[in-house]
Structure 1
Amino acid sequence: MKLASYNVRYDIKPDNITVQQSLDSLATTDPLKPPIYLALTEEQPWSTRRLRVAEILLNEDVALIGFQEALIRQVNDLKELLGDDWAWIGVGREDGVKKGEFSPIFYKCSEIELLSTDSFWLSKTPFKPSKYPGAGCTRVCTVGRLRTIKERKQFTALNTHLDHSSDEQRRFGASLLLHRARFEAMSTHSAVFVLGDFNSSSAQTDSGAYQIITGSIPPLPIDPVFTQKYPIDPAQLPSFGCLDLRTEGPRRNVSSNFATFTAFRKPGNTKDWSRIDFVFGGSNRGWLVKQYNVRSSRSDDGILASDHRPVFVDVDLLSG
Structure 2
Amino acid sequence: MNVFKNTLTYFGLLFGVVAQAQSVSVMSYNIRYDNPHDKENAWTQGDRKEKVIQVIKEQNPDILGVQEALAHQVAYLEDHLSDYQFVGVGRDDGNSAGEYAAIFFNTNKFQLLDSGYFWLSETPEKPSKGWDATCCNRIATWVKLQMGKVSFYVFNTHFDHEGEIAQQESARLLQEKMLPLIKAKIPILLLGDLNITPDNKAIASIQTILKDTFKKEDNNHNATFNAFDLNNLPTKRIDYIFISKYLKSKNYRIIDKKINGLYPSDHFPITAQIKLR
Contact 2:68 2:99 in 1 (8 A): yes
Residue 179 of structure 1: aligned partner: 176
Deviation by residue 1:87-127 (Cα, 9 ceiling, x = unmatched): 00011101011110000000000011110001111000110
Letter in 1 for 2:211: L
Letter in 1 for 2:263: L
- List structure 1 runs of 4+ shifted beyond 6 angstroms: none
In 1: Cα distance, 2:75 partner to 2:40 partner: 21
Residue 250 of structure 2: aligned partner: 290
In 1: Cα distance, 2:117 partner to 2:133 partner: 19
Deviation by residue 1:11-48 (Cα, 9 ceiling, x = unmatched): 0029xxxxxxxxxxxxxxxxxxxxxxxxxx96522132
In 2: Cα distance, 1:289 partner to 1:266 partner: 31
Residue 160 of structure 1: SS of its match in structure 2? Answer: strand
Contact 1:3 1:65 in 2 (8 A): yes
Q: 1:7 aligns with which of 30, 40, 48?
A: 30
Displacement after TM superposition at 1:153 (Å): 1.2
Structure 1: state its 5+ residue gaps. 15-40, 216-240
Contact 1:255 1:293 in 2 (8 A): no
Residue 67 of structure 1: aligned partner: 66
Residue 22 of structure 1: aligned partner: none
1:278 aligns with 2:240: yes
In 2: Cα distance, 1:192 partner to 1:117 partner: 14
In 2: Cα distance, 1:91 partner to 1:132 partner: 18
Matches within 5 A, 1:26-65: 43-47=40-44, 48-65=47-64
Residue 91 of structure 2: aligned partner: 93
In 1: Cα distance, 2:178 partner to 2:27 partner: 18
Residue 258 of structure 1: aligned partner: 222
Contact 2:131 2:165 in 1 (8 A): no
Q: 2:203 aligns with which of 210, 213, 217?
A: 210
In 2: Cα distance, 1:43 partner to 1:104 partner: 25
Structure 2: state its 5+ residue gaps. 1-23
In 1: Cα distance, 2:224 partner to 2:127 partner: 28
Displacement after TM superposition at 1:297 (Å): 4.4
Change (3 A) 1:72 1:298: same
Displacement after TM superposition at 1:152 (Å): 2.7
Residue 5 of structure 2: aligned partner: none
Q: 2:214 aligns with which of 246, 250, 258?
A: 246
Residue 28 of structure 2: SS of its match in structure 1? Answer: strand
In 1: Cα distance, 2:138 partner to 2:81 partner: 26
| Pairwise CA RMSD | 2.0
Displacement after TM superposition at 1:304 (Å): 1.3
Residue 11 of structure 2: aligned partner: none
Letter in 2 for 1:273: T
Residue 144 of structure 1: aligned partner: 143
Letter in 1 for 2:187: A
Residue 80 of structure 2: aligned partner: 81
Change (3 A) 1:44 1:61: same
Per the normalisation by structure 1, the TM-score is: 0.74
Residue 214 of structure 2: SS of its match in structure 1? Answer: helix
Deviation by residue 1:166-224 (Cα, 9 ceiling, x = unmatched): 1110110011112212222234x321011100011013xxx122111112xxxxxxxxx
Letter in 2 for 1:2: S
Letter in 2 for 1:245: T
Residue 64 of structure 2: SS of its match in structure 1? Answer: strand
Matches within 5 A, 1:164-203: 164-187=161-184, 189-203=185-199
Residue 34 of structure 1: aligned partner: none
